[in-house]
Amino acid sequence: MYETSDAFLYLLSRKHSDLNCFSHVGEVLSVGDGVVRAKGITGVFIGEQVYFKSKTSGLLGMVFNIEEVLISVVILGKDTSVSEGTLILRSGDYVKTKVGQYLAGNILDSFCQLIFNCEKRYSFQYTLVAEYAPIETRAPGILDRHRINQALPTGIKLIDILIPIGRGQRELIIGDRQTGKTTIAITAIVNQKRFHSGFITSNTSKKTGGNFVVEEEKTKLQQMLEKLRIEKLKQVAGSDVQISWRDRVYCVYVAIGQKRSSVKRIYNVLERGKALDYTTVVSATSSEAASLQYIAAYSGCSMGEWFRNNGLHGLIVYDDLSKHAAAYRQISLLLRRPPGREAYPGDVFYIHSRLLERAAQMNYNKGDGSLTALPIVETQEGDVSAYIPTNVISITDGQICLDKELFNKGLRPSVNIGLSVSRVGSAAQNISVKEIAGPLKLYLAQYRNFEGVGRFGSDLDPTVVAIINRGERLTELLKQKKPMSTYQQVISVYAGLNGFIDNLELPFVKSYEYLLFNKKFTVLLFDKLIFSSRDKLGIGKLFMLHKEHEFSFYTQVFGIQSYVPYLKRWLQYTNTYFSKYIQDGFKFMSTLRREKILLKFYY
C-alpha cells in the first residue's frame, strides 16, 4: 500500500488512455465528526477506499454515500489533519486488509497494523506478510457449500453435549453483561490447542522463521495406529474424512468497543493457555473512531476467510455485535440517513447478515475448508426480544442464552438450556456423545419439573426423590472452569447418568471427577487390579480406555457401548476408593478445613 503523498505522485504520473487522471482527484468541501463531503471525483463506488493528502501520511477514507454531485466519505481514523480544501484521491479498489497465517500471536487494529503496547514476541512474523484481501467479499453460494457434519469442540460439557457446534456454523452467544459470554468464546479458542499439540509451530521452527507447521516424526507404532484409525473412519464415515493437520482450527478474536485493559487481559489469558500460536486478536477499542469499530468485524472476517479458502478451518469471535451496530448507527446519523427503530438505520440487519453469511463449510471441490462464527450480543435485563438480538438470532443457526440468575446461583457456565438451541444438532456429534446426550436431556428436563416440588414437602415418592438427587448431581457435574476433552466429557457424564455419583454428597462430586482423570491415581489403581484380577486382557483394555487417543478413536467408530463393561468396572473401582478413603475421611473435618482441602485438591 502506498503512502498518501506517493499515491498522489503515482496517479498523477500515470497515462490514461480512456480516463482523465484528474477525475480521480477531488476536493474536501466540509468535514466534521469524522465525515467528509467532497466534490470533483467521478466513477466512485460504495465501499471504495480513498486517500487524503494531509500531513498525516496514510490517512484513508471509505465512500459511504454517492449523490449527484457530492460524495460522503467516512474517515478511517482521526479527522484532525483533514480540513476544507484538502485533496482526496481515488484508489479504484475496496478497502483491504492483510491476511495470512503469520498474523497469529499479535494484537492488530482494523487495518491489520500492529498495536505495539503489547508484547512483541510474535511480531517478527508480521513483517513476512505480503497478501491482502478485501474486507468485504461475497458470501459463498449454496452450491459451493457442504452440509455441516464435523464437530467443533468447545471444551465445555454443557455446550458440546446439549448444544453442539459444528464447523461452518454460526452460533450466537447472548446474555446480559458479566454473565460469561466472552469466557465461553475464549474457552472455545483455548480448547483448539489440543488439535495443535504434537506439531512444531513458529516458536520452535528456526529455519522458516514463520508459522509454517511441520508434523513431528512419528514412531512406527504411532504410524500404524494412525493408519488403522484412518481406515476405520473411512469404513464408517466414507472416504471424505478430515485427518492429520487438517483437523486444526485457527482462530480470530475481534474486540469491538472494549476497553484496552480488557483486550490486554484477554490476550494474557490466551497466552497462558498457549493459544497465541494459532490466534489473531483484532482490536478496535471504545476510544477509537466509530468507523474503525465498524470495519474491524469485516477485517477479522477476511482474516478468517483466508483459512477457509485455503482448505483449513477457522473460528472467528465477534465481541460484540451490539457495539458494532451502535458504531454503525453513529456513522449513519452523521451521514444524515433516516433513522428507524431505536434510531438504527434501515439496513442494520444487512450489515450483520452479510457478515455472518461468510461463515460456511465448503465442499470438496472448494477445498473442504470452513469458517465458524461465534457472534456475541449483549442484552439488557435478559430482553432477547430487542431489535439487535432478534436480528442476529434470525441470522444465526442457533443461540447459547446465558441467564443472570443462574450465574448468581453459582452455575458456570450459566446456560439457560430451555432458551438455547443448536439447529445443526447431533449432525455435528460423534457416536459416543450422541449416546449420552439423549438421556442427559431427559434427566435435566425431569429435574426441572420436580425441582420446585422438593422444597415444599417431605412426603415425596421415592422415584421423584431419586430424580431430584440425580438431577442435583448432574447439575453440579456440569459446572466447569477449564476446558475438557471429549473423552473426559463422555466418561464424566456417563458416570453421572448411570448412578456412580448418586451416593456422593454434592460438595464431593467435582472431587470425584478430578480423581477419575488423575493419572497418578489411575496408575496405582490399575497396578492393584492387575495383581488381583484374573482377567488380564480385560484390565489391559480398561487401561487403554484411560488413554485419550485410543478412547476417542474407538468410541468415534464403534460408540461407547463397545467399552461399557470395562468402563463400568473402572468407574465402580474409583467410586469405591473415593467413598472409602476420601469422603468418609472428610466427614470428621470441619467445614472450613474441608473446603480448603477441596480447593487445593481440585483447583
Give the active site residues.
423
Going from the C-alpha of 30 to that of each of 85, 86, 310, the distances in angstroms are 8, 10, 44
CA pair distance 229, 224, nearest whole angstrom? 9
Going from the C-alpha of 138 to that of each of 48, 146, 234, 306, the distances in angstroms are 15, 17, 34, 14
Burial 563-591, CB ≥16 within 10 A → b, else e? beebbebbbebbbebbeeebbeebeeeee
Contact 566/542 with Cβ under 8 angstroms? yes
CA pair distance 521, 601, nearest whole angstrom? 13
Which residue, chain included where needed, has cell 474441608? Answer: 594
Going from the C-alpha of 6 to that of each of 51, 58, 91, 400, the distances in angstroms are 11, 10, 12, 49
Contact 447/475 with Cβ under 8 angstroms? yes
Contacts of 267 (CB under 8 A, 6+ apart): 107, 118, 276, 281
DSSP, res 427: G
Going from the C-alpha of 238 to that of each of 164, 169, 200, 453, 500, the distances in angstroms are 22, 22, 30, 49, 36
CA pair distance 508, 515, nearest whole angstrom? 11
Give the helix/strand (H/E) hosting 128: none
The string of DSSP codes covering 526-585 is: HHHHHHH-S-HHHHHHHHHHTSHHHHHHHHHHH-GGGGHHHHHHHHHHHHHHIIIIIIHH
Contacts of 15 (CB under 8 A, 6+ apart): none
CA pair distance 361, 139, nearest whole angstrom? 12
- Report the candidate in 259, 306, 247, 256 with the shortest Cα–Cα distance to residue 281: 256
3-state secondary structure 276-341: CCCEEEEEECCCCCHHHHHHHHHHHHHHHHHHHHCCCEEEEEEECHHHHHHHHHHHHHHCCCCCCH
Torsion over CA of 509, 513, 515 and 517, rounded to 10 degrees? Answer: 180
DSSP helix/strand/coil, 479: coil
CA pair distance 376, 280, nearest whole angstrom? 17
Residue 210 grid coordinates = 514463520
DSSP helix/strand/coil, 426: helix
